[in-house]
Chains A and B, each alone.
Chain A
Amino acid sequence: ELKVEQNPLFLSMQEGKNYTIYCNYSTTSDRLYWYRQDPGKSLESLFVLLSNGAVKQEGRLMASLDTKARLSTLHITAAVHDLSATYFCAVASLDSNYQLIWGAGTKLIIKP
């Protein structure tokens, strides 16, 4: 059974700092997704990572995928208050019939 673990689940940090959210998964997969959710809002797609070594960057966020380690990271550079949200990773694999299996989410609070 495919399982997805995110850590940390809660992160409070100061503006201007760097930090990384980790997403580990339990079985072979080459499809990993990062989403952002603001309170009471929908899920906004951030990154789709489809191969080992994939790295994508958008603004202060950078995501990478290591399929051999079964690990993806979401790195935040010089955090700003607007990045406060809950971040989810989700994985799809043949084992899950390509349905998305979600991590529990990381609630990120960035203090001015």
Chain B
Amino acid sequence: DTAVSQTPKYLVTQMGNDKSIKCEQNLGHDTMYWYKQDSKKFLKIMFSYNNKELIINETVPNRFSPKSPDKAHLNLHINSLELGDSAVYFCASSRETGGAGGYTFGSGTRLTVV
């Protein structure tokens, strides 16, 4: 069983469209995250949710809106996509906010905006 699963794996879309990426974890972890990895492989956190509650919201455009219907799911919705949004988006989870037990990452969603 995949511990942290993301869908879709690849997403190609036109500028201006709205798209969603879904993430589910079956580890029973309390905290989930969205990270963005740019073309230079640099990783940066976007959002963190603990038990469905937003705890970190880094400086990302408000076109990006996370939604956590329950603690096992954290979805990312992106409105009015721009070329600069092209990147790989990783979902991750940890047992608790401090991450002392480590973090588990999904396989990533490669978003290409044309």
Interface of A is mostly: strand
| Cross-chain contact A43 with B99 (CB below 8 angstroms) | no
Tally B residues with Cβ within 8 Å of A.
25
- What's the nearest-Cβ distance from chain A to residue B111, in Å? 14
- What's the nearest-Cβ distance from chain A to residue B104, in Å? 7
The complex places the Cα of A109 from the Cα of B101 at a distance, in Å, of: 29
Task: Tell whether B66 is near chain A: CB-to-CB under 8 Å.
Answer: no
Would A92 and B41 be within 8 Å (CB), given that A43-B90, A100-B103 are in contact?
no
A-chain residues with CB within 8 Å of residue B104 when the two chains form the complex: 45
**Which residues of chain B have a CB within 8 Å of any CB of chain A?**
40-45, 48, 55-56, 58, 90, 92, 97-108, 110
Closest 9 CB pairs of A and B: A102-B43, A43-B105, A48-B102, A98-B98, A42-B107, A42-B105, A99-B45, A105-B41, A45-B102
